[in-house]
Amino acid sequence: MAKLARGCFFCYLFMNKILQLFREDYVINLFREQVLPLYPEYKEISQVEIKPYKKMIWTNTYHVVIGYKVGFKNQADEINYVFIVCSAHSNEERKNVFAVLKYLWQKKFNQDIFDVPRPLFYSSEFNGTFYEGISGENLMYYIKKKDFPEIENMVILAAKLFSRLHKLPVSKEANFNPSNSRIKTVIPGSDIIIAEMTYRFEGKFHEDFKQIYTKLIEKEEALFARPDFKPCLIHGDAHTENIINTGAGRLGLIDFTDFCLSDFTRDVGTFMQQLEYKIMARHDNDTVYAKKMSALFLQKYLLERNLTLTPDLDERIKLYYDWTAVRTVVYLFLKHDSDPAKAEILLNKVKQDLAIK
């Protein structure tokens, strides 16, 4: 018995610390200390249900997204539930996510018809941000269901949401993720991607990716060097899974890891490419409907910003449309159940857009 107890003790000492966030007793105590004071209408936290959304845990490292259904007890001993999320990464600080959410709440971005998670606290112990989540189905859910009225409704609201985001005032403290602002510095970086593609496919696509990234980076660097260039706050990962239907006539935005200062056309081009790609993937390659929804988004966005689609603006949108397509190509090539045939079709489309033979 003594040996068993000693063995369990050493297992506890050397276990990955993130596992504590999957223990109800630990989480209740943590939330009593860090969260309960933020909800003065409640006197106690009575229970926590834990649901992992991403649970990648190794010996000493981790990347997790955990949902907590937290039971708060009010003065009348009634229990109300609040949905709290933790996003934590052993090697990447999530402090910037907390800072972004705090900034958006301070700027009252989450008022009217838009919702963003409420920031609660940042834990340096776990490199994790804790926030009150928002409830609802994402745009991808309605694309899969082929719910055409709701797809159109969410696309229109998304145009208004990104327009409002891009019009937010920019201050010095708003540069939350400088390395994510440019294609040449976005992690993991073109050199690593090209090296991995070269290794995995024995050099077959080396020249293609080298030329593609060279052109994309040159185009963006020329844009950033223009005297009239003014960066704005962008989401940085504008796609169908991050747009949430939070109620009739309302829309939510989640996942702020890539939030940074850059050109607003990056969100526009990224969202258009992902919207088209996801619709075609789920709607039997329906290019006509995919392009229709993409055009609707752009039309409504330009209307909200009082902008005209000039040749220059169109080129800027295409730059980020193609960059996002390349990222999709890399994903299709390198994911565990890779789809090289589909990846090559999209790769050839990007090469055509960039005039690469």
Tens-of-pLDDT digits for all 357 residues of the chain?
444 454 454 444 558 999 999 999 999 999 999 999 999 999 999 999 999 999 999 999 999 999 999 999 999 999 999 999 999 999 987 899 999 999 999 999 998 999 999 999 999 999 999 999 999 999 999 999 999 999 999 999 999 999 999 999 888 778 899 999 999 999 899 999 999 999 999 999 999 999 999 999 999 999 999 999 999 999 999 999 999 999 999 999 999 999 999 999 999 999 999 999 999 999 999 999 999 999 999 999 999 999 999 999 999 999 999 999 999 999 999 998 999 999 999 999 999 999 998
Do residues 91 and 154 both lie within one domain?
Answer: no
Residue 201: domain span: 137-353
Is the torsion defined by CA of 198, 201, 207, 208 positive or negative? negative
- The span from the CA of 332 to the CA of 308, in Å, is 34
pLDDT (0 to 100) of residue 15: 83
Burial of 27 (0-12, 13-18, 19+ CB in 10 A): buried
**Inter-axis angle of helices 287-305 and 265-282, nearest 10:** 160
Among 152, 156, 166, smallest CA distance to 300 is for 156
113 shares a domain with 53 = yes
Domain tally, the chain? 2
Task: Kindly state whether residues 252 and 337 are assigned to the same domain.
Answer: yes
Distance, in Å, from the CA atom of 144 to the CA atom of 64, rounded to the nearest integer, reads 26
Q: Do both 190 and 63 map to the same domain?
A: no
Can you give the CATH number for the domain in which 41 is found? 3.30.200
Query: Cα angle at 252 between 170 and 57, to 5 degrees?
Result: 95
Q: Show which of 116, 132, 148 is a domain's final residue.
A: 132
Q: Are residues 170 and 268 in the same domain?
A: yes
290 plus 321 within the same structural domain: yes
Using CA atoms, how far apart are residues 156 and 138, in angstroms rounded to an integer?
14
Of 132, 160, 180, the residue at which a domain comes to its end is 132
Q: What is the pLDDT of residue 92?
A: 83
Residues 71 and 185 both lie in one domain: no
Judge if the upstream peptide bond of residue 37 is cis by omega within 30 degrees of 0: no
Residue 226 and residue 104 in one domain = no
- 126 and 8 in a common domain: yes
